[in-house]
Chain A
Amino acid sequence: MKPIHELGDQEFEALARRAAAMPDAPPALVRAAIDLWQTAKPLSLQAIVRRITAALSFDSWTVEPTALGVRALPSDAHHLLFSAMGRDLDLRITPSNDGFALTGQILGPDEAGEVRLVAESVGAVAKVAALDALGEFRLEGIARGSYLLTVHVGGDEIVLPPIEVGDRSG
């Protein structure tokens, strides 16, 4: 069988047609396979990571932004900056149609990773998002409450202080 780069135009098009028609596995099977991560992950996969506690360096609701040269955000947005051993985390909490959205960016070494949001009252992971190529992430549909956000990047686990999601008035 010829490698793809040696296929003629008609042969490649025939292959592309088959590719377009390639069916997905049943969604329930795919979901169950994804969920194996929660139920069947061996203990050895829980790698020894460096746990770092991030420090809050800026909170838009406790200081006038213009005093630090930071561009003012709409008053209902909450802007937080954290630092963690060579990395900075820029986090913004904004109201949205279905609760609140948390958007952010990890500033530092260019690495793949993910963020996990845990509701303090429940103790279970509420949302997970992968960092994109720019180190940015977005979590949507967040209800009011207190949350713990952890960032897993480059073998480190960065733990933020508890974050309050809600309106400025409380």
Chain B
Amino acid sequence: MAATTPQVTAAAHGHAQKGMDTALMGMMLFIASEIMFFAGLFGAYFTFRGQAQVWPPQGFEVDPFPLPAILTVILVASSFTMQYATIAIRRGDRTAMNRALAVTLLLGLIFLAGQLYDYSNLPFSIRSGVYGSLFFTMTGFHGAHVLGGAIGIFVVLSRGVSGQFSKEHHVAVEAVHWYWHFVDVVWIALFFTLYFLR
């Protein structure tokens, strides 16, 4: 009988609460698309590297020591402080989260400043042939992503300072922390590709 057909009211449907948070899933998929963007750049890099007789070309031998290595340590350390901030808010410790976020932001900005300084000391530019184009495009887009992540950290930090996060409600921190790990991992891949894998 039609009258006895089970019906679900609108209030009860949708918005399943189990599984990954909706916003977090959105961030994961966004990171997936970002990975594909960098995959395109890495694909270009390895295409040229595979074709070249000498790689890197003469005059383009970049030295990982001391500055790029120091910056790498700084960025990797910031991933740990970011992870610490996330763990702190999962425990409900807002003060520790805010402190760790501030340290992460500072480390990220130091990385960016150091990269700009490094740029100014390189003997080649984006106009100096294929290697220059590759080097500056890849590190430049990575730097832009670090800046984006730093803006994200600044937003969650200011929200954290005004007490908007709690043990239960802190999805923005989780999302930014995944994004920050992502820019860190891309840097590690870049660092080894550009400075060691020759």
Asked if A and B bind, the verdict is no
Using a CB–CB cutoff of 8 Å, the interface residues on chain B facing chain A are none
A interface residue numbers (CB < 8 A to B): none
